Structure 1
């Protein structure tokens, strides 16, 4: 098993090779990686079964197993995702403006790769191919460290991608995996300043907080999604019901799923019994404040912790508010800055919500589940940034670049 120092040295060397590559060269390599996933579907599924067996033996929840499981359809989707990345415009080399200064120098700002990116993530094997291919297209080498739950799947996936790269001009070490899943390797990676240019954690709140507290490498914070949907007094209630059911139930284990429902008191008496019935087929547990409890049949009282929690499960916190301002205040206090939505026919209320809610993605009359790189047209995503420096929201190719100034002169001196 290679050490992190060895992985770092190899990644640095690979990054220099990638930085010189043309768009067409990278795209051809991506197509080879995509085809390799299809060609090795059975091998990938066999490895995934080992992870699934171990997960069930360890009592991992069904929602977390949903993140872990691979099928032929999911592998096909992963391969298609790589092809979509190949089709995306290459940000590398793009000049973001050019101007002359008083000395007559022509100055431009050009997009360049970040260099070597480290990704720490949990039990979703598709992150392995998404992150590897996105970093590659943006000219970066990547060191991946997935969770122990998916180690067999991740090892095979990275070997498949590396074997595909061996048929191209690129070093297979452009995409590497940390196979040691101990806490020690994780902590060592967080301090790999000599080799990593940036570290991106992708997973639950505990993982992200650990990285933020421990890392000495620059970190882009992603992921934790305590997302809210507010039903305004002027909402279309059928639309509101559809949005809530989608935002909570379509895939509750992901970070863009709704965790808290806020309802204006003017429509609470009508809407809450209806939404309880609409959520019943999924056995959603409702944890409600005192006002909401009076309109619901099977809800339990909400605690302070419920307003703060990313459940990642069929659980929804419910609160009745007296105004749009109270809804915004609640979101401001408890949101993780990921995704929030308002359902309303009041144009002014929608604009106020947009203006005053400070999250990466703010919706009017749409589900929070759309906060996603594919849905935004970025191809696959590295993650969803909830911070404000450099990158915010779904992180696609552009967010995996830096810039340098290019200056043309005619002998000027200062």
Structure 2
């Protein structure tokens, strides 16, 4: 009986809020760039003004997480501080500064019969976003969706529910003083998994779903949704150190890719090292990782050089740790590195550190990933770092969008056809 009641409550909230967003979408799509930008600046100011109350709500999430044994890496994803909230506000201001893609003319032609056909960018409509842990996604999603004239229905993870609830309250209060309908932004607060199941089948209310989170969440959405999905992928990212790499550069890139923030999807999970480079430098590199509290797992060849490295199991090469754990594999050639990435990568972000331009170019051409790097950390795969202000996710699929998804990726197209009485014979 209780389960049936819970299902009814969940169904009511999800459908009710998606309906409100659907009703607000047409009004939102008519707003000018100036009206949307003004609203986003109001949101940015509100976030700064309400930093203390947001941090108080976030503290509740962190306390609940610690009491329930949440890992340190997940707690880091949930945690907010003044700096992170200021970054969220700055991301909003950067989105304001970006060109509004809505109304952009992509193609224009006049047919021999006199028809004038123009292809323009338009909002998608109502976007559903299902995500885990990171409260900053709430603000990023709101900024990008509202700037592109899309209503948005958010369903964050229960681990950050208090933070997300307070952030959306702040955003709603700011929107109530703007021209953007407050109903354009909705948060599903029911933590029961049935609320996710409902969203997956909201055809007619949601135009697209975007999942952000771990592999299991993404695959659940991809496999079970009847609403169209833009797949964002888990990040099993690699850094390959070629035999010609500069030691200090390779060390700093590898450390940054793993240690700077291991809980995020663009952090490195496997370090591939050419055997010639490894013979000279793997001991020193391993010492640096160990000094940064990183547990190392590797193949037999890596362990023969650094006994502190634990033997990696087969499953480790296919695991997104999002933690202070790193796989280390010694390879004999670029070919072996490419083969390993092809077998175990998730088409997210891959890097080669090399002074050999030919090897670097081959790596950039052959590796099938949303972002490929030469002599730079994979941590840069991020909408903020790419100049998008924020991102809705990092798409690892190949249709509609790939890589960090900014404003243009949240649009569809429409053909405007102008005639003077033409009929088809």
1:369 aligns with 2:341: no
Map Cα deviations across residues 387-412 of structure 1 (whole Å, 9 max, x no partner): 11100000001100010111222332
Map Cα deviations across residues 335-360 of structure 1 (whole Å, 9 max, x no partner): 10000000111111111101110000
Q: Which runs of 5+ in 1 are unaligned?
A: none
Structure 1 residue 267: Cα displacement: 1.5
Structure 1 residue 42: Cα displacement: 1.7
Structure 1 residue 169: Cα displacement: 2.2
Name the counterpart of 1:300.
310
1:247 aligns with 2:263: no
1:256 aligns with 2:271: no
* 1-structure distance, mates of 2:68, 2:233: 25
* 2-structure distance, mates of 1:268, 1:154: 45
| 1:84 alignment partner, one of 75, 94, 104 | 94
Structure 1 residue 68: Cα displacement: 0.8
* 1-structure distance, mates of 2:111, 2:236: 47
* 2-structure distance, mates of 1:201, 1:18: 23
| 2:360 alignment partner, one of 327, 347, 350 | 350
* 1-structure distance, mates of 2:334, 2:422: 59
Larger deviation, residues 204-213 vs 20-29: 204-213
* 2-structure distance, mates of 1:121, 1:79: 20
1:229 aligns with 2:221: no
1:54 aligns with 2:60: no
SS state at 2:109 partner: strand
* 2-structure distance, mates of 1:266, 1:77: 42
RMSD value, Cα: 1.1
Q: Report how many aligned residue pairs link the two structures.
A: 414
Structure 1 residue 87: Cα displacement: 1.2
Q: Which runs of 5+ in 2 are unaligned?
A: 1-8
Name the counterpart of 2:76.
66
Structure 1 residue 256: Cα displacement: 0.3
* 1-structure distance, mates of 2:303, 2:59: 43
Tell me the TM-score normalized by structure 2. Answer: 0.95
| 1:166 alignment partner, one of 172, 176, 191 | 176
Larger deviation, residues 265-274 vs 387-396: 265-274
Name the counterpart of 1:318.
328
SS state at 2:351 partner: strand
Counterpart contact for 2:240–2:353, Cα < 8 Å = yes
Name the counterpart of 1:193.
203
Counterpart contact for 2:18–2:186, Cα < 8 Å = no
1:148 aligns with 2:158: yes
Map Cα deviations across residues 100-158 of structure 1 (whole Å, 9 max, x no partner): 23333222210000000001011111111111111000100000000111111111111
* 1-structure distance, mates of 2:70, 2:152: 28
Name the counterpart of 1:272.
282
* 2-structure distance, mates of 1:93, 1:32: 24
Larger deviation, residues 196-205 vs 1-10: 1-10
* 1-structure distance, mates of 2:282, 2:109: 58
Map Cα deviations across residues 239-290 of structure 1 (whole Å, 9 max, x no partner): 1111100001000000000001111122221121121012122121111111
| 1:37 alignment partner, one of 30, 43, 47 | 47
Name the counterpart of 2:185.
175
Structure 1 residue 171: Cα displacement: 1.6
Map Cα deviations across residues 221-254 of structure 1 (whole Å, 9 max, x no partner): 1140000011111111211111100001000000
Over 3 Å counting, the alpha-carbon distance change for 1:269 and 1:18 in structure 2 is same
* 1-structure distance, mates of 2:60, 2:251: 40
Counterpart contact for 2:241–2:272, Cα < 8 Å = yes
| 2:402 alignment partner, one of 388, 392, 404 | 392
Moved over 6 A (4+): none
* 2-structure distance, mates of 1:223, 1:80: 26
SS state at 2:305 partner: coil
Map Cα deviations across residues 17-72 of structure 1 (whole Å, 9 max, x no partner): 11101000000111111111122222111111111110000111111111111112
| 2:112 alignment partner, one of 102, 113, 119 | 102
Name the counterpart of 1:331.
341
| 1:210 alignment partner, one of 220, 227, 232 | 220
| 2:388 alignment partner, one of 378, 385, 406 | 378
* 2-structure distance, mates of 1:349, 1:41: 48
| 1:22 alignment partner, one of 32, 38, 55 | 32
SS state at 1:294 partner: helix
Counterpart contact for 2:282–2:306, Cα < 8 Å = yes
